[in-house]
Structure 1
Amino acid sequence: MPPLLHLSLGEPRRLSLTRKLVLLVMFCFAQFLDTLNTAALFSAIPTIEASMGMSETQSTWVISAFRLTFSSFLLISGRLSDVYNPKTVFIGGVSSLGVLSLCAGFVVDTIPLLVVRAITGIASSMTIPSALKLLVRVFPDPLEQARAVGFFGGCGAVANVGGLVVGAVFVQWASYHWVFWYVACAAFPVALVCVFMIPSQIGETSGTLEPIGAKWKTLDLVGVGILTVAFILFIFSVTSGSTDGWKSPMVLVLLIISVLMVVGFFYWETLLPVGRAAIPPQTWFYNNFSVLFAVALMPYLWWNAVMLIFSMMWQNVFYWSAISSAVHMLPLGIIALAASFTGSLSRIFSPKWIILTSLSFCMVGTVLLALGGGRPENYWPYVFPAFVLGSAGVMMTFTHTNIAIFQAAPSSMSGTVGAMFNGALQLGSAIGLAASSVIETSVEATHGGSHDYAGRAASFWFLLGIVALQFILISIFYDRSTDHKPQPKYDGPAHSTQPSPDCDEKSDTNVTIMPEVN
């Protein structure tokens, strides 16, 4: 297909339908692997914990270490995708994911496993912003793009449950090592296919004409480094609070340092010239962006907290098999997948009302889990309806927050905004799981140990408080004045964050405008 060799950003429609669909499958499979990389471990963690002699707090870090680095490095990955060719970033991320997962399968000690998991999070973070950037290039038509983005998000929901089943199968009939090797076996073919199927020029922007040194300066390595260290210190201090005591000098000092570093990060961002900041300060002032970012902290936290709590309780307390535990969690994924196809509702109703309704479902489901999840016989009257309502609410919140947050920002910022949105998902999960684990451990210490449900119930009340707070934030601060309006038409150089009043749809940059995603 010779014309594809000369594809420019302004000519994405030259791609054949077959090639578009193959690329969509590859991008979605990368999303599937990123989510499965965590979800499969929920079934495997009890076995890993016993095999390596981990404490419950340490086993939480098998998940949190990945989430932490994933969320922190999404920012720089988004900048890499905006400044450099996202094809290179995407293939590099998927290939590294395969190599690191292969290595993780051979690790048999706690500390090395946590280190490899943390590095794996960095590799995975390279795949999501670049995949989104490429996705909107491959599907420039608004309707096609909406469907593609919806399918891309839905694959995460499928992977949540698919990961549980895959992990359970390997734990039951092979070993937990295959949870990691499976990801490696799938990642390498995806990277190889994408080398040949993604046209080299499809992700290029006018920013690629700059010297390499000029591009490198736009990545804000100092800012990202400060923020990453701040997150690590914060989560470590929160996790250590339950074992060393909240009045421990180490815990208090690390908490204070982490907060000061976050403040320092935002101050540093204000000192950088236009186009250099990892999170341009004006991003927070896009309409509804800040409140939507706050809501994005919840979806993965809710799913992961529910799966972690029940997978460990069902296997360690009720002595259910890994397969039985995974099957009982199927409603979470099935309902989430169904709810992922509700994106068209945003054409009829304001995202505000959809998100508020979704958060209401989630609150009802969380209350049911807090009240009745502690006995096997309560699965059908309490846990099952809670899974249905909660997962539907969380997935609709995820879908329509995603739609609204892309409406809030100009398309020239799509890589950075996509990174920030996914970073919020992962960051909320990492910090929330650490806090939830601390709450559960602290309550169990005074209520008879892990066989008592009081600690788990306290974690669900904590989740309820987070969801209720987000409900209040959306109710008060969401501005409906720009509902259903198209995004700003400016889409200048990827390194620029200030729109030019002279730019329009016929801009010489030849970059496809990312339409409103519905």
Structure 2
Amino acid sequence: MNSSLASITSDDDAKVVVQRPLPSNARRYTLLLIFCITQFLYTLTNSALFSAIPSLVRNFGFTQSQSVWIISAYQLTFASFLLMSGKISDIYSPKYTFITGKFILGVISIGIGFASNGILFLALRALSGIAASLTIPSALALLVGLFPEPRHQGAAIAAFGACGAVGIVLGLISGALLVEYVSWHWIFWFVSAVILPTTLISTVLIPSQTKNMARESGFTKLKRLDITGISILTVAVILFIFAVTTASMIGWRSATALVPLAFSIAMTGSFFCWEALQPIECAAVPPSTWFISNFSVLFGTALLPYFWWANIFTTYVSLWQDIYGWSALSSAVHMLPIGITAFVFSFSSRVKGIGAMNAKWLILCGALMMMTALVLFAFANGPDKYWSLVFPGFIIGSAGAMLTNISANIAIFRATPPSMAGTVGAIFNCGLQLGSAVGLAAVGSIQTSVQKGNGGPSNYEGQSAGFWFMLACISVAAMAVLVFYQTHTTRDHVEGTVGSDEKDADSEKGDDGSLS
């Protein structure tokens, strides 16, 4: 292969550009498989715990409010530390950031399996979220470096995202099987048994440097990390997710929810003020980033896929098991169409006709499909409506969510410089997690309030109201894409000096930002 990566070394203040060949295809695709397995295991673990919640509640004596943190403890720290992890990956080394996060997560997973009390369990879940946050931005940065050609890069990013979606559904099934036939402990021991060996393989296979990186002093790197700015935003995100999660349990009028929410908003404003005062090279997220063509609208789009998936999962798992009396395994099997469809549509960018379309129209098409599914769900008021309304809704909506996810994910990397890959990946994934956290809180609150005045959870009016609310939110987001997404933009920023083949490959992208 003639494509090459440019690496920059320095002697004192002099920078020398060195052309380094890409690793072999076998090595690159083995690493892609490892990255995809890592993403798959993270989402599988979280999803599997939905089936394990009853066992964990009995085992640790959790109250109903405490049981929410079985999922939220991980989600809280994962989303909050993504930006810091992305900056560490960009400034230091994506290879060692990825390996460190995986190894720590593997060790913590063993410990969670042996946890003997609820407090220790939740604490380890929170720590595992921090460890996992180190791996996602760094994996995306490595993918961008290992697959510089736009066509192959799009396929790699699509596969990475697809494994996350498939892991959600297969996690429900694997969790149900493990809980029913073994124990919840094996959910974490299984993850550790896969993560630790692949960490060792990653250490050997990942090139030591896959992007332009000048040697800098430790002080310079630390200054560029912008610890103050990142800390402000990290605390703001923690308070925000805590507030919306708490509000979904005890109501939005509670001071326990409103005070953290107010502080979160104030700290977010402080973060942007702080960033505006920093030199561009020292800012965690330079304000100019949000003015990169389509960046802001693509971040808004990132809120949609997990907003759709998370609410569909929680609504139907609760409805089927608590109201209809279905078993955890039966509920998981009925969710399979979502995972199968997501996996199939993960390859949509490789289809000639679809891949040639501009990302704007693919995102809008995906949003329309999610909206169509929500209309079907709103009228599926009984178990007899599964095949006529829910099943086609699962297929149409999951296809739309995956199409939106992949199109936005590829487009946001095309719109930004490769040197920001880790930070951009962190921002995008933070959007995914915020969409899930805020969406679950908002939809849960609407469902609960409607059910109180309409006969309780057994009345479908609450679920229906939640679906109509989701439809309204996605409609607003789709209108924003329609109005603000610019279709005739290119990324003309090239890091360092690249080989002619890479330049030629970059020119394949076209002026319309298509996913070819």
Scaled by the length of structure 1, what TM-score is found?
Answer: 0.88
Q: 2:166 aligns with which of 158, 174, 182?
A: 158
Instruction: Give runs of aligned pairs for residues 159-174 of structure 1, distance below 5 A.
Output: 159-174=167-182
Counterpart of 1:299 in structure 2 is: 305
1:489 equivalent to 2:498? Answer no
Instruction: Give runs of aligned pairs for residues 325-474 of structure 1, distance below 5 A.
Output: 325-344=331-350, 345=353, 347-372=355-380, 374-474=381-481
Partner Cα separation in structure 2 for residue 62 and residue 243 of structure 1: 14
Q: Secondary structure at the match of 2:188?
A: helix
Partner Cα separation in structure 1 for residue 123 and residue 57 of structure 2: 16
Partner Cα separation in structure 1 for residue 168 and residue 255 of structure 2: 38
Cα deviation for residue 456 of structure 1 reads 2.6
Count matched residues.
493
Instruction: Give runs of aligned pairs for residues 226-241 of structure 1, distance below 5 A.
Output: 226-241=232-247
The C-alpha deviation readout for 1:42-97, integer Å capped at 9, x for no partner, is 22224334444445543333223222221221111111111111110010011111
Counterpart of 2:44 in structure 1 is: 36
Q: Conserved in 1, the CA contact under 8 Å of 2:247 and 2:441?
A: no
Change beyond 3 A, Cα 1:31–1:114: same
Q: Conserved in 1, the CA contact under 8 Å of 2:79 and 2:237?
A: no
Counterpart of 2:512 in structure 1 is: none
Q: Secondary structure at the match of 1:126?
A: helix
Partner Cα separation in structure 1 for residue 212 and residue 506 of structure 2: 12
Cα deviation for residue 193 of structure 1 reads 0.8
Change beyond 3 A, Cα 1:196–1:81: same
- Shifted more, 327-336 versus 252-261: the winner is 252-261
The C-alpha deviation readout for 1:412-432, integer Å capped at 9, x for no partner, is 222211111111111211222
Q: Conserved in 2, the CA contact under 8 Å of 1:291 and 1:477?
A: yes
Partner Cα separation in structure 2 for residue 12 and residue 56 of structure 1: 56
Change beyond 3 A, Cα 1:28–1:133: same
Scaled by the length of structure 2, what TM-score is found?
Answer: 0.89
Partner Cα separation in structure 2 for residue 460 and residue 7 of structure 1: 49
Counterpart of 1:185 in structure 2 is: 193
The C-alpha deviation readout for 1:460-492, integer Å capped at 9, x for no partner, is 22222221111111111111121xx4x223315
Partner Cα separation in structure 1 for residue 25 and residue 426 of structure 2: 28
Q: Conserved in 2, the CA contact under 8 Å of 1:13 and 1:140?
A: no
Q: 2:100 aligns with which of 89, 92, 96?
A: 92
Cα deviation for residue 37 of structure 1 reads 2.3
Counterpart of 1:47 in structure 2 is: 55
Counterpart of 1:312 in structure 2 is: 318
Cα deviation for residue 279 of structure 1 reads 1.3
1:114 equivalent to 2:118? Answer no
Change beyond 3 A, Cα 1:293–1:243: closer
Cα deviation for residue 407 of structure 1 reads 2.1
The C-alpha deviation readout for 1:151-199, integer Å capped at 9, x for no partner, is 2222122212221221111112111221122111111011111111223
Change beyond 3 A, Cα 1:140–1:477: closer
Partner Cα separation in structure 1 for residue 458 and residue 86 of structure 2: 43
Cα deviation for residue 23 of structure 1 reads 1.3
Q: 2:222 aligns with which of 211, 216, 226?
A: 216
Cα deviation for residue 297 of structure 1 reads 0.7
Letter in 1 for 2:492: P
Q: Conserved in 1, the CA contact under 8 Å of 2:245 and 2:437?
A: no
Letter in 1 for 2:435: G
Partner Cα separation in structure 2 for residue 152 and residue 239 of structure 1: 28
Partner Cα separation in structure 2 for residue 401 and residue 422 of structure 1: 11
Partner Cα separation in structure 2 for residue 444 and residue 51 of structure 1: 30
1:59 equivalent to 2:67? Answer yes
Q: Conserved in 2, the CA contact under 8 Å of 1:68 and 1:232?
A: yes
Change beyond 3 A, Cα 1:238–1:31: closer
Change beyond 3 A, Cα 1:355–1:204: closer
Partner Cα separation in structure 1 for residue 411 and residue 49 of structure 2: 31
The C-alpha deviation readout for 1:306-352, integer Å capped at 9, x for no partner, is 11222222222222222211110000011111111111456422221
Partner Cα separation in structure 1 for residue 321 and residue 117 of structure 2: 22
The C-alpha deviation readout for 1:409-462, integer Å capped at 9, x for no partner, is 122222211111111111211222222333333333333333333333332222
Counterpart of 1:251 in structure 2 is: 257
Change beyond 3 A, Cα 1:455–1:176: farther
- Shifted more, 274-283 versus 145-154: the winner is 145-154
Cα RMSD for the two superposed structures: 2.6
Partner Cα separation in structure 2 for residue 176 and residue 384 of structure 1: 29
Partner Cα separation in structure 1 for residue 282 and residue 480 of structure 2: 30
Q: Conserved in 2, the CA contact under 8 Å of 1:167 and 1:179?
A: yes
Q: Secondary structure at the match of 1:218?
A: helix
Cα deviation for residue 123 of structure 1 reads 0.7
Partner Cα separation in structure 1 for residue 474 and residue 291 of structure 2: 23
Partner Cα separation in structure 2 for residue 211 and residue 204 of structure 1: 18
Letter in 2 for 1:406: F
Partner Cα separation in structure 1 for residue 422 and residue 398 of structure 2: 27
Q: 1:265 aligns with which of 245, 265, 271?
A: 271
Partner Cα separation in structure 2 for residue 369 and residue 31 of structure 1: 29
Counterpart of 1:499 in structure 2 is: none
Counterpart of 1:288 in structure 2 is: 294
Question: Percent identity between the aligned chains?
Answer: 46
Q: Secondary structure at the match of 2:233?
A: helix
Letter in 1 for 2:319: M
Cα deviation for residue 506 of structure 1 reads 6.4
Q: Conserved in 2, the CA contact under 8 Å of 1:44 and 1:171?
A: yes
Partner Cα separation in structure 2 for residue 88 and residue 35 of structure 1: 22
Q: Conserved in 2, the CA contact under 8 Å of 1:239 and 1:435?
A: no
Letter in 2 for 1:29: I
Counterpart of 1:498 in structure 2 is: none
Partner Cα separation in structure 2 for residue 84 and residue 73 of structure 1: 16
- Shifted more, 105-114 versus 313-322: the winner is 105-114
Partner Cα separation in structure 1 for residue 248 and residue 48 of structure 2: 27
Partner Cα separation in structure 1 for residue 473 and residue 20 of structure 2: 42
Letter in 2 for 1:418: G
Letter in 2 for 1:132: L
